[in-house]
Amino acid sequence: MRLLEATALQIKQKILSKQIRASELIGQVFNRIKTVDPTIQSFLSLNEDNALKVAKEIDRKIENNEKVGLLAGIPVAIKDNLCTKGLSTTCASQILKNFVPPYDAFVVKRLKEEDAIIIGKTNLDEFAMGSSTENSSYQITRNPWNVACVPGGSSGGSAAAVAANITPMSLGSDTGGSVRQPAALCGIVGVKPTYGRVSRYGLIAFGSSLDQVGTMTKDVMDATLLLQVIAGKDPKDSTSVQEPVPDYLQGIENNINGLRIGIPKEYFTEGMHTDVHKALKDALCIYEKLGAKIIEVSLPHTEYAVAVYYIVANAEASSNLSRYDGVRYGFRSTNAKGVIDMYCRTRAKGFGNEVKRRIMLGNYALSSGYYDAYYLKASRVRNLIKKDFDATFERVDCIVGPTSPVPAFKIGERASNPLEMYLSDIYTIPANLAGIPGISIPCGFSKDGLPVGLQILARHFDEKKMLHVAYAFERETDYHLKRAVV
Amino acid sequence: MKISDNDIRYVAHLSRISLTENEEALFVHQLSDILSYIEKLNKLNTENVEPLVYTTNAFNVFREDVLEKSISIDDAQSCAPSIMGVFFKVPKVIE
């Protein structure tokens, strides 16, 4: 196996045992970027000089037998909506074209503390609003398994960079499935932690009651390692929780005999691609073989999740994105007649259509006379969705289903109808509304050779169980070992 | 639900986004579609359901009232489109 096809844990082993130097590895990473990224287009900006400098420092530490961090020498790509000090952070928007943050996001700081090497910033749907990464105002990222297809989104750049064997790890963010869905479409592992498990400090806000930073890796072990690093309380995010972070590795190899897996009947309805359905059925057979009990459950309010989400997320977005006014940072339109005109021209020119649509929808739902009918109504139904999960988790240990109803679709195929694109998040959105953790793992391929993802949902703060269940499947299968050829 | 041209102009104004006529027409159509879809929520009786905003047990977070370091003025102004001294400069606010 080529070095860049290896997992982070395998690479770390090679670095610690001095089989390879971090600086050589980073050299290979940037060579790979120069070879494949003109096709894949996963990166918006690179951190080459600084990455080499950091790698040399890690080499020096290892040479001198000094203590190194948990991610010593591991390259990590960062979604471009996470603030990186001194490194451009655009959210794939024209309005932040020239924005260079003066501080690091909490998760970025944690990576640096553990000696990870930040290689660059990855493409996304503008402000993470989308499911295909086609809404980036800079470039269209391609799926490494088939470059005519989208990588999913909004963390499409981070997913494609891992699947294209550029980096073993990347960070994304998940507001309605933006880590799990691209992970599924690119054949990798994506984790959305429980709301509050990971600090949102420095994650550029979209829907503040839904956003979580998530991990994107080649396998479950790497996800475990990366989550261990980024999880925990941060005083700078008052919604991050005190709840202790368990050792996710401890017990991960235990068998799952007797585990109760819930299969929501609402997740197996029309609209699911036959190849996805088949992969799912095969996956459930594997779980049964491993001794798990498969139990049919019901999440009766599933069909309302997308409607609730597009009110709640966009109401929050309309407020969060009011900060882009051309005053303190970012783009400003010139020749304005007064300050209000400057705001209106700046935002008209700086935002793309999807962002404008969502800001307007959010403001409409919050505006006088409509607040009760839309925002308040949606918040009540949101509670019903959470109660569905609470009741179900009384009976089962985890919930398993598809991550996305379809494998990767063709670039342009869904771009003209926003509502149709929204509906592709039907299986991932409920976890964000309820605040529970979810993971997507590779569970097969379509007839056209495109990856299919299996989603596992668990109780609040039970990432440990979720990773355990995911690892049990991974150990029995080899889907996670397949690599895209670019 | 069908929204009108006036609704779009009003909400664009609230959103501080200027729209061309073509954009107005596009957004009237798309937002009407999305709002019609959202009307399915009205099928549910939610009279006795509390609204849910935060999914974890949110509580006030206090800290000692001690001065902490924050970013410098230079850093804070480093990405500004226009500054004057320690201020951000904007076009005329009052006519």
Mean pLDDT of A158-163: 98
Point out the residue among A332, A345, A433 whose CB comes nearest to the CB of B81: A332
Q: Over the stretch A211-264, which tens digit does the pLDDT of each residue have?
A: 999 999 999 999 999 999 999 999 999 999 988 999 999 999 999 999 999 999
Point out the residue among A99, A356, A386 whose CB comes nearest to the CB of B79: A99
Catalytic residue status for A79:
yes
Q: Does B81 touch chain A (CB under 8 A)?
A: yes
Label residue B94 by pLDDT band (50, 70, 90): confident
CB A54 within 8 A of CB A48: no
Q: Closest Cα of chain A to B54: distance in Å?
A: 6
β-partners of residue A146 are: A143
Residue B37 counted as domain residue? yes
Range of the domain at B39: 5-43
| Residue-averaged pLDDT of chain B | 92
CATH number of A3-257+396-481: 3.90.1300.10
Residue B17 counted as domain residue? yes
Catalytic residue status for A319:
no
Residue B91 counted as domain residue? no
CB A275 within 8 A of CB A402: no
Residue B77 counted as domain residue? no
Residue B59 has pLDDT above 80, yes or no: no
- C-alpha triplet A239, A169, A481: angle, nearest 5°: 125
Q: Closest Cα of chain A to B31: distance in Å?
A: 7
Q: Does B62 touch chain A (CB under 8 A)?
A: no
Q: Over the stretch A297-333, which tens digit does the pLDDT of each residue have?
A: 999 999 999 999 999 999 999 999 999 999 999 999 9
Q: What is the pLDDT of residue A1?
A: 65
| Residue-averaged pLDDT of chain A | 96
SS (H, E, C) chain A: CCHHHCCHHHHHHHHHCCCCCHHHHHHHHHHHHHHHHHHHCCEEEECHHHHHHHHHHHHHHHHCCCCCCCCCCCEEEEECCECECCECCCCCCHHHCCCCCCCCCHHHHHHHHCCCEEEEEECCCHHHCCCCCCCCCCCCCCECCECCECCCCCCHHHHHHHHCCCCCEEEEEECCCCCHHHHHHHCCEEEECCCCCECCCCECCCCCCCCEEEEEECCHHHHHHHHHHHECCCCCCCCCCCCCCCCCCCCCCCCCCCCEEEEEHHHCCCCCCHHHHHHHHHHHHHHHHCCCEEEEECCCCHHHHHHHHHHHHHHHHHHHHHHCCCCCCCCCCCCCCHHHHHHHHHHHHHCCHHHHHHHHHHHHHHCCCCCHHHHHHHHHHHHHHHHHHHHHCCCCCEEEEECCCCCCCECCCCCCCHHHHHHCCCCCHHHHHHCCCEEEEEEEECCCCCEEEEEEECCCCCHHHHHHHHHHHHHHCCHHHCCCCC
Residue B29 counted as domain residue? yes
Label residue A417 by pLDDT band (50, 70, 90): confident
Q: Over the stretch B17-28, which tens digit does the pLDDT of each residue have?
A: 999 999 999 999
Residues 233-292 of A with CB under 8 A from B: 235, 238-239, 241
Residue A206 has pLDDT above 90, yes or no: yes
Q: What is the pLDDT of residue A418?
A: 80
Instruction: Report the number of distinct structural domains present in chain B.
Output: 1
Residue A3: burial class (beta carbons within 10 Å; 0-12, 13-18, 19+): middle
Q: Which residues of A touch B95 (CB under 8 A)?
A: 338
Q: Over the stretch A350-365, which tens digit does the pLDDT of each residue have?
A: 999 999 999 999 999 9
As a whole number of angstroms, the distance between CA A61 and CA A57 comes to: 6
Q: Which residues contact A431 (CB under 8 A, 6 or more apart)?
A: A177, A192, A437, A438, A457
Query: Per the CB < 8 Å rule, is A327 touching B91?
Result: no
User: Six-digit token pair at A270?
Assistant: 């029309």
Q: What is the pLDDT of residue B54?
A: 84
Q: Over the stretch A80-101, which tens digit does the pLDDT of each residue have?
A: 999 999 999 999 999 999 999 9
Label residue A421 by pLDDT band (50, 70, 90): confident
In chain A, % of residues over pLDDT 70: 100
Query: Per the CB < 8 Å rule, is B41 touching A308?
Result: yes
Peptide bond into A93 cis (omega under 30): no
CATH number where B25 lies: 1.10.20
Catalytic option among A42, A136, A154, A158: A154
Q: What is the pLDDT of residue A422?
A: 83
Q: Which residues contact A330 (CB under 8 A, 6 or more apart)?
A: A95, A96, A97, A98, A99, A324, A350, B79, B81
C-alpha distance from residue A267 to each of A31, A32, A97, A297 (Å): 42, 39, 40, 10
Residue B76 counted as domain residue? no
Residue A484 has pLDDT above 70, yes or no: yes
Residue with tokens 């259509």: A353
Q: Which residues of B touch A433 (CB under 8 A)?
A: 55
Mean pLDDT of B30-48: 94
**Cβ-based contacts under 8 A for chains A and B:** 165
Catalytic residue status for A322:
no
Mean pLDDT of A418-446: 93
Residue B53 has pLDDT above 90, yes or no: no
As a whole number of angstroms, the distance between CA A346 and CA A331 comes to: 7
DSSP 8-class letter at B39: G
Q: Which chain A residue is nearest to residue B62, measuring alpha carbons?
A: A238
